[in-house]
Amino acid sequence: MPGAPTCRDRGRRVVVHAPAKTNLHLAVGAPGHDGYHPLVTVFQALSLYEEVTATAAEPGSGVTLTVSGRGVDETPLGASNLAVRAARALAEHLGRPADVVLHVHKTVPVAAGMAGGSADAAAALLACDLLWRGDLAPADRLDVAATLGADVPFALLGGTALGTARGDRLEPVTARGELHWVMAWAREGLSTPAVFTALDDARDAGRAPRRDVLDARVPPALAAALADGDPHALGAALDNDLQDAAVALRPALAGVVGAARGAGALGAVVSGSGPTVAVLADGADHAAELARVLGAAPEVAETRHVHGPVAGARQVVGADVSPDHPSLRGR
């Protein structure tokens, strides 16, 4: 059967990395009957990667997971881990046993609004597909990814993209040039459900405007800035419906945004549900200066200069499956 293990698979391994993201635009609708909020968002993939190594395991051994790097103590190792869920979902899709040893090396902080867990899932999905010779078409892989979480398909796709529905229906967006960002990381993460609840409470109390109808397009000013490769116009177009809710839960974030703007940032916005603040710089030298200034702020644990957009999940050079493997075609 497709994807069935063979003796020659024993000991094979595949290494894949997948990028973190930030949101250039995030509009949040009212929750539906299922409790989920419809979204219209513009994602951008950043040069900060989660890395997953998938190694062939003995038949019947199931999925085992180890983790290294940032946030090890905060990362679940059992069935709730998104990388484990990705391996099992793919195995079910392929009709084969989910026998694999996964190792996740984390560089993205946990609960930072940068979709590190989703990047783990995307990397595990691609790594297992290559390891098991599933040869899934990119569209089929995206379908499996969508069952795992709203941000997982984008971690596969990468680049810059419009996300609708729960953020998992994607359309590539034209984005010219390279953008330089400084990610200012807080000392503690924020719960995504708590931030959405805070937004709902603010709307119910009349402290935040409702969005009963979402415009499922890239806002015109943002689309023009991306197409023109104009970071100054882009900085003015950044917006996030969750920002005020995140600040209400973590008031120090307002100081980070203010410090970034005071230091000459082209724009500063809470990334996703926070608490990371994404700060747009006018080139690499400016990013280095912003990182220095923000790194001295008491509310900031660490800064990282990254660029975007970058590609989605990719095999790391030197792994056992070559980059021209059939399941990578068309990506």
Known catalytic residues are 21, 151
Provide φ and ψ at 193, rounded to 5°: -55, -35
Greatest Cα pair distance, the chain, in angstroms, is 63
Residue in 108, 116, 169, 117 with CA at minimum distance from that of residue 143? 169
Tokens of 37: 């909020």
Tokens of 108: 């993205």
- B/e letters for 108-140, b = 16+ CB within 10 Å, e = fewer, are bbbbbbbbbbbbbbbbbbbbbbbbbbbbbebee
Q: Any idea what DSSP says for residue 160?
A: E
Q: Which of 194, 171, 196 is nearest to 31 (CA)?
A: 196
Which bin fits 35, alpha (ψ -120 to 50), beta or left (φ > 0)?
left
Look up residue 106 and give its two tokens: 């984390």
**274's tokens:** 């926070």
215 HSE (CA, 13 A, CB side): 5
Rounded to 10 degrees, the C-alpha dihedral 75/76/80/82 comes to 30
